[in-house]
Chains A and B, each alone.
Chain A
Amino acid sequence: MATETTAAEGSSLVFHPMDQFIVKPLFGDGAIAWYTPTNVTLWLFLAIAAIFALLVLSTSKRAIVPTRMQSVAELAYGFIYKMLEDICGKEGVKYFPYVMTLFMFIVCANFLGMLPMSFTTTSHFAVTIPLALAVFLTVTVLGFVKNGASFLGLFWVSSAPLALRPVLAIIELISYFVRPVSHSIRLAGNVMAGHAVIKVFAGFAAIAVISPVSVLAITAMYGLEVLVSFIQAYVFTILTCVYLKDALHPSH
């Protein structure tokens, strides 16, 4: 990022906070085609493995009195199920596997990204934009399939004074189309910023005088990032639920 400027200051203090997000081929140094297995592939598959271990292996005994891991799986299940049911009602429960997939993927990818030397897949817009677009398209298609043209009533605020309604309709329309943007950038931005800040602090650790402060700061940031990892997954999921509710019950 700032290689030229930092290189001039001296080789001991080099910041490359964004290098951790570089996509590299897993095997060899070739160009990255769409099918090349890369570090993205590795960490995405590790997320699959983590989800498999958490939700499938831990419940393999089907214990009435759960083990610790099974409790975690049941808690995650109950957490998302209740969230979906609270927001979307009984009709929303149908989409539970979809919402659960999103939540489990994001939360596992975020936490795997907290491992040192790991690659954080959810810090990339290439990952979060498809996720958000998928939610946006699902909600839009579902809204029209379920409600027909009355889905457009979402933009026509019938409780507002008649004169205000066209203005509100424009605002609602804009906010509707901004949804996937904010939805994706919020997640990637939060994760990327935290990781970059940790890297910057790590760069300062090369200076002996500052390094204790730097290590403390990294520790504090790490704690904050662990929180952010969960909260961003939670926020992404709850917004998905809210958007789904709009598709199922478009009236305000």
Chain B
Amino acid sequence: MATEPLAKEVAGTCVDSYGSAIGMPQLCFDWFPNQIFWLVITLVVIFLVLSRVALPRIAAILAERQGTITNDLAAAEDLKAKAVEAEEAYNKALADARAEAQRIAAEARAEIQSGLDDAIAKADAQIAAKAAESEKAIADIRAGALESIQVVAKDTAAELVTALGGEADAKTIDSAVDAQTKG
């Protein structure tokens, strides 16, 4: 706000001698050509800047971002599908492995069982053979012992008869000992 008097003659009809506006400066038609001229230049410059540089660039940025987002979403979807697939494969492998393990365990169990059965049968047979052998040996020993007992008894009886002053009759002693030991 210029308050000091300027006394400008160039001010014309729009500005008084104090440099203040006369009426509305908006309606000062002396200034119109100047304002319109610079406005047209400004608008042309802005239009060129926007249509040549700014707007295509922003459109490209927005399109690129949209593309990136779409691609990323697709990639994420892809990865998710892959993850699900991998999980399925894993579960399947796990189930397979479990079934295989069960099969192997059952097989091993059957094998062991049959081996065990064989071994038991063999062992039973061996035990039976051994037992029969032992029984035979016992019977032999028992027979041997009986004979030995008779011989010793006969000898002892003969000695006793002799010691008692009798005549040791072999036949009598034998039959007596036999009769005694059989009973």
**Chain A residues proximal to chain B, CB less than 8 Å:** 1, 3, 11, 14, 16, 18-19, 21-23, 29-38, 40-41, 44-45, 47-48, 51-52, 55-56, 59, 62-64, 66, 70, 73-74, 77-78, 96-98, 100-101, 104-105, 121, 123-127, 130-131, 134, 188, 192
B25 in contact with A18 (CB, 8 Å)? yes
Q: Is A34 in contact with B49, judged by CB distance below 8 angstroms?
A: no
- A78 to B65: give the CA distance in the assembly, Å: 14
Could you mark each residue 1-23 of chain B with 1 if its beta carbon is under 8 Å from any beta carbon of chain A, else 0?
A: 11100001010101110111111
Number of interface residues of B (CB under 8 A): 52
Q: In whole angstroms, how far apart are the Cα atoms of A47 and B25 in the complex?
A: 21
Within the assembled complex, what's the spacing in Å between the Cα atoms of A60 and B33?
Answer: 36
Complex contact A32–B30 (CB within 8 A): yes
Listed stretches B37-45, B118-126, B152-160; interface member: B37-45
CA distance A125 to B27 in the complex (A): 7
The one of B21, B39, B51 that contacts A22, using a Cβ cutoff of 8 Å: B21
B20 adjacent to A38 (CB under 8 Å):
no
The reply to whether A97 and B60 contact each other, CB–CB distance below 8 Å, is: no
Are A130 and B40 within 8 A (Cβ)?
yes
CB-defined A-B contacts under 8 Å, sample of 26: A1-B22, A3-B16, A14-B1, A18-B21, A19-B19, A19-B20, A22-B15, A29-B8, A33-B34, A35-B37, A38-B38, A40-B35, A44-B39, A44-B42, A47-B42, A48-B42, A55-B49, A56-B54, A59-B57, A59-B58, A62-B64, A98-B47, A126-B36, A126-B39, A130-B40, A192-B24
Point out the residues of chain B lying under 8 angstroms from A35, CB to CB.
34, 37
Please give me the residue from chain A that is nearest to B17 by CB atom: A3
A residues less than 8 Å from B24 (CB atoms): 18, 21, 192
Chain A residues with CB under 8 A of B36: 34, 126-127, 130
When chains A and B are docked, how far (Å) is the Cα of A125 from the Cα of B15? Answer: 17
Report if B28 contacts A (CB, 8 A). yes
Given A16-B1, A77-B58, the answer on whether A126 and B21 have CB atoms closer than 8 Å is: no
Q: Whose C-beta in chain A lies nearest to the C-beta of B37?
A: A34
**B74 on the interface (CB 8 Å rule)?**
no
Is there contact, CB below 8 Å, between A62 and B60?
A: yes
Q: Are B23 and A1 in contact (CB under 8 A)?
A: yes
Question: In whole angstroms, how far apart are the Cα atoms of A96 and B58 in the complex?
Answer: 13
- CA of A73 to CA of B43, assembled, Å: 19
Question: A41 CA to B45 CA in the complex, in Å?
Answer: 13
* Of listed B26, B51, B60, residue having the most chain A CB within 10 A: B26
In the assembled complex, the Cα of A43 lies from the Cα of B98 at a distance in Å of: 82
Residues of chain A contacted by B94 (CB below 8 angstroms): none
* Bound form: Cα–Cα A70–B62 in Å: 11
Q: A34-B33, A55-B54 are in contact. Are A101 and B46 (CB under 8 A)?
A: yes
Contact, CB under 8 Å: A126 / B35:
yes
Give the distance in Å from the alpha carbon of A32 to the alpha carbon of B32 in the complex.
10
A19 touches B21 (CB 8 A): yes
Q: How far is the CA of A121 from the CA of B35 in the complex (A)?
A: 9
Q: Are B21 and A41 in contact (CB under 8 A)?
A: no
Complex Cα spacing A22 to B59, Å: 40
Chain B residue contacts of A70, Cβ below 8 A: 61
> Which residue on chain A has the smallest CB distance to residue B35?
A126
In the docked arrangement, what's the CA distance between A10 and B65, Å? 64
